[in-house]
């Protein structure tokens, strides 16, 4: 089975040794995705950062040959669970009709302390 590596151009990919996404067969797995836009943290609020992270996730899935409706699971990691509704609002704007399995998980922090959220996703492309 072929293995396709998808890069987002993150400087951390080479340093850490990971891909933004990996496609094996009809399965796509997207790594923890930070809210980075134009090389900087996108905004300073949960909603804006979640939107930015989801945008990167969707681009990675598309680069691997999938689409938003192929996403079957998301994991939203938050540094402040009291702000879950703002992350959920951004998530719902993308996935309101798709409704993947999802979890909102508390985290003590990320590589960059400005990041409030990271998003992971799994997709299954239909034959």
Delimit the domains of the chain by residue range: 3-124
**d(C-alpha 56, C-alpha 43), whole Å:** 15
Residue 8: per-residue pLDDT: 86
State both tokens at 53: 């992270």
84 vs 39, more confident: 84
Residue 74: per-residue pLDDT: 98
| Residue with the two structure tokens 């939107």 | 51
- pTM score, whole prediction: 0.94
**d(C-alpha 93, C-alpha 23), whole Å:** 25
State both tokens at 127: 């034959």
Which segment, 7-11, 34-38, 117-121, is predicted with the most confidence on average?
A: 117-121
Could you tell me which CATH number the domain at 3-124 has?
Answer: 3.30.1330.40
Bridge partners, residue 106, by sequence: 78
Q: Which residues contact 47 (CB under 8 A, 6 or more apart)?
A: 86, 87, 89, 90
């Amino acid at each position: 089975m072929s293995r396709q590596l998808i890069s987002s151009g993150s400087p951390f990919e080479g340093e850490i040794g990971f891909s933004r996404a990996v496609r094996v067969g009809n399965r796509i797995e997207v790594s923890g995705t930070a809210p980075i836009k134009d090389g900087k943290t996108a905004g300073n609020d949960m909603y804006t950062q979640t939107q930015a992270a989801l945008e990167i996730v969707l681009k990675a899935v598309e680069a691997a040959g999938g689409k938003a409706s192929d996403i079957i699971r998301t994991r939203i990691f938050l540094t402040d669970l009291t702000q879950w509704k703002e992350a959920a609002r951004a998530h719902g704007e993308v996935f309101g009709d798709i409704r993947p399995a999802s979890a909102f998980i508390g985290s003590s922090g990320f590589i960059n302390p400005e990041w409030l959220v990271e998003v992971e996703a799994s997709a299954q492309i239909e034959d």
